Amino acid sequence: MSENITIPPTQYADYPALMPPAELAAMQRYARRDPDGFWLQQAKRVHWHRKPKHGFTGSFTGDVSISWFEDGLINASVCCIDKHLTDKADQVALISHREDRAEAEKITYAMLHERVCRLSNALVHLGVEEGHRVAICLPMISEAVVAMLACARIGAVHVVLFGGFSAEGIAERIIDSGAVAVITASESMRGNKIVPFKAIMDEALCKAGAESGVRSVLVVRTSDAPVPMLPGRDYDFHDFVDSFEADFVPVVMRAEAPLFMLYTSGSTGKPKAVVHATGGYMVWAAYTMGMVYHHQPGDVLWCTADVAWITGHTSVVYGLLANGGTTMISDSLPSYPAPGRWLDLVDEHKVTMLFTAPTAVRAMMADGDDVVNARNLESLRLLGVAGEPISPDAWLWYHDVVGKKRCPVVDTWWQTETAGIVLGPVPGVQPLKPGSASTPLPGLEMVIADTQGRPVQGPAEGSLCIARSWPGQARTIWKDHARFCQTYFGMVPGHYFTGDGARRDADGYYWITGRMDDVINIAGHRLGTAEVEDALAADHRIVESAAVGIPHPVKGQALAVFVIQRQNVATELTEKGISRLISGMLGRYATPEAVYLVPDLPRTRSGKIVRRLLRKIASGEVDNLGDLSSLNDPSIVRMLCDRVWSHM
């Protein structure tokens, strides 16, 4: 099957490879032989106020402690801005495309410096101090990037909250994080819908009441619509900030000082805020982005992720800017006002590296090849995905139709906790296998553990773990170190447990099989959700599917699948047909107990399918659906319950 497809780097002869394969292999060996030496060398990628002499200190056992470059002194905004002012002051650092503006905003490194400094002065004036938390809840506009970097400059810890959260979701996170200030917008357009950012924030702060420590709210006015402002607390962002001085001496931070905390996507349960430390994160962000999204002069990277996710933090902001690239952000939707909108923006801004989520690839695929073929797309030279497993079929479509077989596709596996790419190919250097997140970057020691938590060698399938710390590793869960130790280090002693399952093939390539919590065990046969979903993705009539396990009196568990069918196909699929498709490809034991044809699936705000909810709905356990704050559209739950009940 797809595992046999291997695309050699020679397919991309025009792609400027980062290094010869032998050099990559040498890097791998060096990192294994002398991890501290390796990482101290990588630390040279960023600017230090005092260079570190120590690599890692700490332990993955007991009361886990993780510390990197502990004698180093650093400021993340200096790494991203000041470092480039001597040679790149006039290079565009950030392109901000807003659908309500005719012209995109192009911000050079010099302009970015000025804006970040003004906001730094304003925040300090408002009493924000080193170590204070600042909540940033903004649409994808340039102020979001400026706000993150200004917090970094003054040593405050940013907590970026997704703009689409409900007031409850924001209130919960504002209380939990103990934010003292908020940076938000008046409103934003999502397609033809207005998202009233300020009104939602007001409601959230009201709900948080005395539990909120927020003293100031800066509001970016994004339109002429009137916004209620609370005197003494609320400030018009530009009226207030633009009068401050355009220079600010960065606060020199210890490497281990927290740079930001970030809530995970909430796919598997109650969202948790993981804490990232400045020095290690910056080295890691620069390293991982440098290895996989190695940019050349003139490159424009558009990572379509919201800055509220880890991909937004590392790819849009810290990693790319640390490396002196040009990053693009946009508040556009992929198919509004018409399918192909994102591809138009690729042409308009000559995007060279496009990085998106598998769900966006599946949606583009459903729109059809004609939409893609009607665009030029010649500027593209690298395509990327992250966030969910991508089926080999969707991978090949992205590669062949969007990338015209010219652009390597990098499928990168990472987590909020890993803060940067862990599994991913170095494009142009390593062969690519559609559907596989390739191999670990040098410096990462991946382990597959069996059901008893014992590491297994060679080709194997099991829990994906990491044997040794890496600089960008989350240091703790905010206010809950015990949960941190238990969630990530309780499973395989002395190892970081990712929560995901994976298979390692004979070439050492990794194939993510899904979340370990979601593994389906049918009469002793273990089945990863991705295996079922990949099998279904091979049928062109299926846009997307989600597999879950439900209790079964005899087999222990049985398979239930939810399927979104493509519109207007000649022969529609039936539930029986889907059943046959699965048993034909995976074996009789995998024959589903139930198949539901549905118009949509529950997703997190970052676009991931929430299988935990589907599992409960399919099992009829609808009384206790758990935390729904990270759902994109909670109304979908009702529709799915109705669909399942009508089958019972």
Neighbours of 120 (CB within 10 A): 29
Distance CA 526, CA 523 (A): 8
Round the CA-based radius of gyration of the chain to a whole number and report it.
24
Q: Which one, 330 or 415, has the nearer CB to Mg ion?
A: 415
Phi and psi of 597, rounded to 5°? -90, 120
Q: How far is the CB of 88 from ligand ATP (least distance, A)?
A: 31
Q: Looking at this protein, which amino acid is placed at residue 261?
A: M
Distance CA 357, CA 265 (A): 13
Burial level of 427, CB count in 10 A (0-12/13-18/19+)? buried
Q: Does 319 bind ligand ATP (CB under 6 A)?
A: no
Tokens of 589: 């034991």
Q: Which one, 143 or 411, has the nearer CB to ligand ATP?
A: 411
Tokens of 280: 């290690």
Q: Which one, 38 or 355, has the nearer CB to ligand ATP?
A: 355
Please enumerate in sequence order all residues whose Cβ is within 8 A of that of 254, keeping only pairs 6 or more positions apart, or say none.
70, 72, 73, 278, 279
Give the residue ranges of DSSP H helices in 408-480. Answer: none
Q: Does 266 bind ligand ATP (CB under 6 A)?
A: yes
Q: How far is the CB of 516 from ligand ATP (least distance, A)?
A: 9
Distance CA 116, CA 168 (A): 30
Q: Does 579 bind ligand ATP (CB under 6 A)?
A: no
386 binds, among Mg ion, ligand ATP, none (CB under 5 to 8 A by kind): ligand ATP
Phi and psi of 265, rounded to 5°? -65, -20
Contact between 329 and 140 under an 8 Å Cβ cutoff? The reply is: yes
Q: Which one, 11 or 487, has the nearer CB to ligand ATP?
A: 487
Q: Does 440 bind ligand ATP (CB under 6 A)?
A: no
Give the residue ranges of DSSP H helices in 60-141. Answer: 76-80, 85-88, 109-125
Q: How far is CA 426 from the centre of its chain?
A: 19
Q: Which one, 40 or 285, has the nearer CB to ligand ATP?
A: 285
Distance CA 328, CA 317 (A): 9
Q: How far is the CB of 415 from ligand ATP (least distance, A)?
A: 4
Q: Which one, 72 or 435, has the nearer CB to ligand ATP?
A: 435
472 binds, among Mg ion, ligand ATP, none (CB under 5 to 8 A by kind): none
Q: Determine which residue in the list 52, 280, 334, 387 makes contact with ligand ATP, applying CB under 6 A.
A: 387
388 binds, among Mg ion, ligand ATP, none (CB under 5 to 8 A by kind): ligand ATP
Q: Does 384 bind ligand ATP (CB under 6 A)?
A: no
Q: Which one, 288 or 416, has the nearer CB to ligand ATP?
A: 416
Closest CA to 154 of 126, 182, 173: 126
Q: Which one, 1 or 569, has the nearer CB to ligand ATP?
A: 1
362 binds, among Mg ion, ligand ATP, none (CB under 5 to 8 A by kind): none
Q: How far is the CB of 353 from Mg ion (least distance, A)?
A: 25
Q: Which one, 348 or 627, has the nearer CB to Mg ion?
A: 627
Closest CA to 214 of 246, 252, 183: 183
529 binds, among Mg ion, ligand ATP, none (CB under 5 to 8 A by kind): none
Binding to ligand ATP (CB under 6 A): which residues in 492-521? 498-500, 512, 515
Q: Does 528 bind ligand ATP (CB under 6 A)?
A: no
Q: How far is the CB of 416 from Mg ion (least distance, A)?
A: 7
Q: How far is the CB of 281 from Mg ion (least distance, A)?
A: 18
Q: How far is the CB of 422 from Mg ion (least distance, A)?
A: 13
Q: How far is the CB of 588 from Mg ion (least distance, A)?
A: 33
Distance CA 59, CA 436 (A): 31
Tokens of 178: 């103990």
Beta strands in 127-236, from DSSP E residues, in sequence order: 133-137, 157-160, 181-185, 188-190, 193-195, 216-220, 234-236
What is the per-residue binding string for Mg ion in 257-286, x denoting contact by CB under 5 A?
A: -------x----------------------
Q: How far is the CB of 226 from ligand ATP (least distance, A)?
A: 36
Question: Which range touches ligand ATP (CB under 6 A), out of 26-34, 199-207, 258-266, 370-378?
Answer: 258-266
Binding to ligand ATP (CB under 6 A): which residues in 588-617? 606, 608
Neighbours of 374 (CB within 10 A): 12
Query: Measured between alpha carbons, how far apart are the two ends of the chain, in Å?
Result: 36
Q: Determine which residue in the list 388, 518, 533, 544 makes contact with ligand ATP, applying CB under 6 A.
A: 388
266 binds, among Mg ion, ligand ATP, none (CB under 5 to 8 A by kind): ligand ATP
Q: Determine which residue in the list 52, 324, 339, 389 makes contact with ligand ATP, applying CB under 6 A.
A: 389
Closest CA to 131 of 249, 342, 277: 277
515 binds, among ligand ATP, Mg ion, none (CB under 5 to 8 A by kind): ligand ATP
Q: Does 477 bind ligand ATP (CB under 6 A)?
A: no
Distance CA 640, CA 47 (A): 51
Q: Report the residue closest to Mg ion, judged by CB.
A: 264
DSSP secondary-structure letter at 83?
A: G
Q: Determine which residue in the list 121, 188, 267, 332 makes contact with ligand ATP, applying CB under 6 A.
A: 267
Q: How far is the CB of 268 from ligand ATP (least distance, A)?
A: 3
Distance CA 632, CA 613 (A): 13
Burial level of 204, CB count in 10 A (0-12/13-18/19+)? buried
Closest CA to 614 of 518, 544, 487: 518
Q: Which residues bind ligand ATP (CB under 6 A)?
A: 264-269, 271, 309-310, 386-389, 411-416, 437, 498-500, 512, 515, 606, 608
Q: Which residues bind Mg ion (CB under 5 A)?
A: 264
